[in-house]
Amino acid sequence: MSSLESLEHRELGLLYRDHHGWLRSWLQRRLSVPAEAADLTQDTFMRLLASPASMAQLQGVRQPRSFLATVAQRTLVDHIRRQVLERAWLETLAQQPEAHAISPETQAILLETIREIDAMLHGLGHKVRRAFLMSQLEGASYADIAVQLGVTVSSVKKYMARATEHCLVYALERQ
Amino acid sequence: MADKTITAAAQWYARLCADDVSAADVAAHGRWLAADPEHARIWRQVERLRGTLGSAPARLAADTLNRADHHFARRRAVLRSSLGAVALLGGGGVLAWRVLPVEQMVAGYLADYRMGTGERRELLLTDGTLLWLDSASAVDVAVDARGRHITVHAGEVLIDTEHTTAGLPPLRVSTRHGTVRPLGTRFTVNRLDDLTRVAVLRHAVELLPADGGAALVLKAGEQGVLQTAAARHEGEITGEPDAWTRGLLVVDGMRLADFVAQLDRYRPGHLRCDEAVAQLRVSGAFPIDDTDRALAAVERALPVRVSRFTRYYTRITARG
Give the ipTM.
Answer: 0.73
Q: CA-CA distance, B82 to B84, in Å (whole number)?
A: 6
Neighbouring C-beta atoms of residue B50, cutoff 10 Å: 19
Of B193, B247, B251, residue with least CA distance to B225: B193
Q: What percent of chain B has pLDDT over 70?
A: 81
pLDDT band of B98, cuts 50, 70, 90 = very low
pTM for the whole thing? 0.46
Taking only the tens place, the pLDDT of each residue in B136-154 is 888 888 766 667 788 898 8
DSSP collapsed to 3 states, A43-60 = HHHHHHHHCHHHHHHHCC
Q: What is the DSSP letter of B223?
A: E
Average pLDDT over residues A3-26: 75
- Say whether B89 and A77 touch across the interface (CB within 8 A): yes
Average of per-residue pLDDT values in chain B: 79
The pLDDT value recorded for residue A151 is 95
Which residues is B181 bridged to in the sheet? B206
Are the CB atoms for A136 and A156 separated by under 8 Å? Answer: no
- In chain B, whose CA is at the least distance from the CA of A112? B56
Mutation for B interface: A136, A149, A166, most B CBs within 10 A: A136
The pLDDT value recorded for residue A30 is 74
User: Which of A92, A123, A168 is opposite residue B64, by nearest beta carbon?
Assistant: A92
Given a cut of 70, is residue B56 above it in pLDDT? no
Least confident of A149-163, B42-56, B213-227: B42-56
User: Which of A70, A91, A168 is opposite residue B46, by nearest beta carbon?
Assistant: A168
pLDDT band of A161, cuts 50, 70, 90 = very high
pLDDT band of B286, cuts 50, 70, 90 = confident
- In chain B, whose CA is at the least distance from the CA of A74? B88
Average pLDDT over residues B165-193: 86
The pLDDT value recorded for residue A152 is 95
Are the CB atoms for B30 and B127 separated by under 8 Å? Answer: yes
Average pLDDT over residues B215-225: 93
- Say whether A92 and B6 touch across the interface (CB within 8 A): no
Q: Supply angle C-alpha B201, B207, B210, rounded to 5.
A: 145
Neighbouring C-beta atoms of residue B158, cutoff 10 Å: 22
Q: What is the DSSP letter of A155?
A: H
Sequence-distant (≥ 6) Cβ neighbours of residue A9 within 8 angstroms: A1, A49
The pLDDT value recorded for residue A166 is 93
The identity of residue B67, as a single letter, is: R
Are the CB atoms for B242 and B201 separated by under 8 Å? Answer: yes
Q: How far is CA B106 from CA A140, B18, B45, B177, in A?
A: 14, 10, 14, 28
Q: CA-CA distance, B48 to B201, in Å (whole number)?
A: 32
Interchain CB contact of B170 with A (< 8 Å): no
Residue A94 three-state SS? helix
Q: Supply angle C-alpha B152, B156, B159, rounded to 5.
A: 80
The pLDDT value recorded for residue B212 is 87
The pLDDT value recorded for residue A3 is 47
Mutation for B interface: A32, A44, A77, A153, most B CBs within 10 A: A77
Average of per-residue pLDDT values in chain A: 80
The pLDDT value recorded for residue A8 is 65
Which residues is B281 bridged to in the sheet? B255
Q: What percent of chain B has pLDDT over 90?
A: 25
Given a cut of 90, is residue A164 above it in pLDDT? yes
The identity of residue B168, as a single letter, is: L
Interchain CB contact of B192 with A (< 8 Å): no
Q: CA-CA distance, B249 to B285, in Å (whole number)?
A: 6
User: Which of A110, A126, A173 is opposite residue B60, by nearest beta carbon?
Assistant: A110
Taking only the tens place, the pLDDT of each residue in A99-112 is 556 777 778 888 88
Q: What is the DSSP letter of B110?
A: S
Taking only the tens place, the pLDDT of each residue in A38-89 is 888 888 888 877 776 777 676 666 777 877 887 888 788 788 778 888 888 8
Q: CA-CA distance, B237 to B244, in Å (whole number)?
A: 15
Sequence-distant (≥ 6) Cβ neighbours of residue A14 within 8 angstroms: none
pLDDT band of B87, cuts 50, 70, 90 = very low
The pLDDT value recorded for residue B144 is 63
More confident residue, B39 or B313: B39
More confident residue, B76 or B312: B312
Q: CA-CA distance, B315 to B312, in Å (whole number)?
A: 10
Q: CA-CA distance, B278 to B42, in Å (whole number)?
A: 51
- Say whether B55 and A113 touch across the interface (CB within 8 A): yes
Given a cut of 70, is residue B230 above it in pLDDT? yes
DSSP string, B262-280: HHHTTSSSEEEE-GGGTT-
